[in-house]
Amino acid sequence: MVFASGVFLFLFLPVFLAVYYLTPARFRSLTILIGSGIFYAWWRVDFAVLLFAVMLWAHFVALSIGRAQESGNETHARRWMIAGVVVNLSTLGYFKYWNFGVDTLDAIMIKAGMTPPQDVARVLLPIGISFFVFHAISYIVDIYRRDARPVKHFADFAAFMTLFPQLVAGPVLRFKDLAWQFENREHSLDKFSEGARRFMIGFAKKVLIADTVAPLADAAFALENPSAADAWLGALAYAVQLYFDFSGYSEMAVGLGLMMGFRLIENFNHPYISASITEFWRRWHISLSTWLRDYLYIPLGGNKKGPVRTYVNLFLTMLLGGLWHGANWTFVLWGAWHGIILAIERLLGVRAREGEAIALHKRIARVGFTMLLVLIGWVMFRASDVSSAMTMYGGMVGLNGGGISDAFAWQISGMAAATLALAGIVVYLPPFLAAWRNESVQASLAGRLGVIVLFLLAVTKLLSQSYSPFLYFQF
């Protein structure tokens, strides 16, 4: 089930909210667990069983760590922590990277003149496995670090793990940041209204902008010989599609959380106005950036073991972060690209100074250069394979001519082009966005009416489409 669907909007969400608020407060975690289970099992029941197994293992390991620490046996606690992390990573590795490993081995055997086996089973990727495995790992590690206490009742922990607003595409949550809200969250009309507005804004971003420019990106990346104009327009379209799709989902998740009394972490902060890649990763997919910092970069040594080790740690963190996104060499290279740039910026002393006062022309130049680096990375991120990415890069440098090709021109609709231009204006007017997201503006009569109109337009558009999946569901 996806947020941008009639089943979710007109059946699941109203029924769930009605049951949730009619349920006594002490049983609402159980309501979340049951409702979220139905939400996830709507896709495949068997993978809901996998989710349950991951939760059960994490719960058992956390209790074992807690008992070992209470008895003063840190060695056993550490062993349980390692076992918990290894089993979770093994689960993720099997379901997400088995096919990748098989395909890579087949390619090596073919190049060596050997015949690869033909009867190797393929593995279907469960939706959201990267997110709920990361949630389980962070919970186990936080318990081991004593940043949180083990949850005694499985239903309470399972409610955190399955909380459906963030179950399949984040934000990446940490139990220690949300535990108190399961015990003391506030339910109010103002909070519910704020959540409804956030949900509608995110829904409009996804359906009205991301879905409208998606055909441009798809058409450009499908060309055999894209021209410079084709390739750059396609890269820009994908940058807009990905941002409004994923930030739209995240905004919807935050809104749904507020409607249920939870305040989830914000996942985006105008990333395309960043003046460096370092700043970009403070603004893009903030929950993942924070997770990688706390559970990978810092355990690797962070910046505490000298400059060379710091550069290596930055590179490895981004390399593994790229691999987390998908089992494809394109994601590995995309992660390496960002890792190299972050290391270079660190070497040059670049910092993420979001509020730095610099001359306007310098700011524009820095933002433009950063966006160029981001776009180059997005091409590799979007391409189906490295060869396709190289085809796009060849087009971007003009190997196939400069103007829009006939093969691409007929696929450019006026609506998609206008939406792409509008998205650019929205992205690069942060003062307007900051004001729009201000609660007093949203709560005004004009703000409410504007959001409702956009939402109704998005619903109308959605109903005319057959399917509207979120891009990050594949991760």
Give dist(CA 425, CA 416) in Å, integer.
14
231, 263, 235: which is closest to 382 by C-alpha?
235
- Token output for 345: 């910026």
With tokens 């306007």, the residue in question is 360
Nearest to 265 by CA among 241, 289, 244: 289
Tokens at 378, concatenated: 């997005």
Tell me the Ramachandran region of residue 247: left when phi exceeds 0, alpha when psi lies from -120 to 50, beta otherwise: alpha
Say if CB 159 and CB 29 are below 8 A apart.
yes
Closest CA to 248 of 196, 199, 207, 206: 206
Residue count (the chain): 475
Tell me how far CA of residue 298 lies from CA of 170, 302, 305, 356, in angstroms. 22, 4, 11, 26
DSSP for 62-92 reads HHHHHHHHHTT-HHHHHHHHHHHHHHHHHHH
SS3 content of the chain, % helix, strand, coil (to 5): 75, 0, 25
In angstroms, the CA 349 to CA 352 distance is: 10
Query: Helix crossing, 189-204 with 228-259: angle to 10°?
Result: 160
Q: Are 58 and 136 in contact (CB under 8 A)?
A: yes
Question: CA angle 310-311-314, nearest 5°?
Answer: 85
Residue closest to 252 by CA, chosen among 470, 10, 474: 470
**Local structure of 286: helix, strand or coil:** helix
Q: Buried b vs exposed e over 395-422: b needs ≥16 C-beta within 10 Å?
A: bbeeebeeeebeebeeebeeebeebbee
Q: Which residues make Cβ contacts (< 8 Å) with residue 423, sequence separation at least 6?
A: 209, 213, 240, 244
Task: State how far Cα 319 lies from the chain centre.
Answer: 16
Spans of the chain, pLDDT less than 70: 170, 352-357, 430-445, 447, 466-475
Distance CA 462, CA 208 (A): 9
Helix axes of 329-348 and 360-382: crossing angle, nearest 10 degrees: 160
pLDDT digits (tens, 9 = 90+) for 47-62: 888 889 999 999 999 9
SS3 label, residue 60: helix
Confidence (pLDDT) at 435: 46
Angstrom distance (rounded) from CA 289 to CA 163: 21
C-alpha distances out from residue 12 to 46, 237, 279, Å: 20, 32, 38
361 is catalytic: no
Which of the residues 59, 135, 270, 325 is marked catalytic? 325
CB 301 within 8 A of CB 313: yes
Q: What is the reported pLDDT for 153?
A: 82
Residue 207 near residue 419, CB atoms below 8 Å: no
The predicted-structure confidence for 101-117, as pLDDT tens digits, reads as follows: 888 887 888 888 877 77
**Distance from the Cα of residue 370 to its chain's centroid:** 20
Residue 319 token pair? 């390399």
What's the pLDDT score for residue 78? 93
Neighbours of 345 (CB within 10 A): 18
What pLDDT does 108 receive? 85
What is the C-alpha to C-alpha distance for residues 90 and 399, in angstroms, rounded to an integer?
A: 43
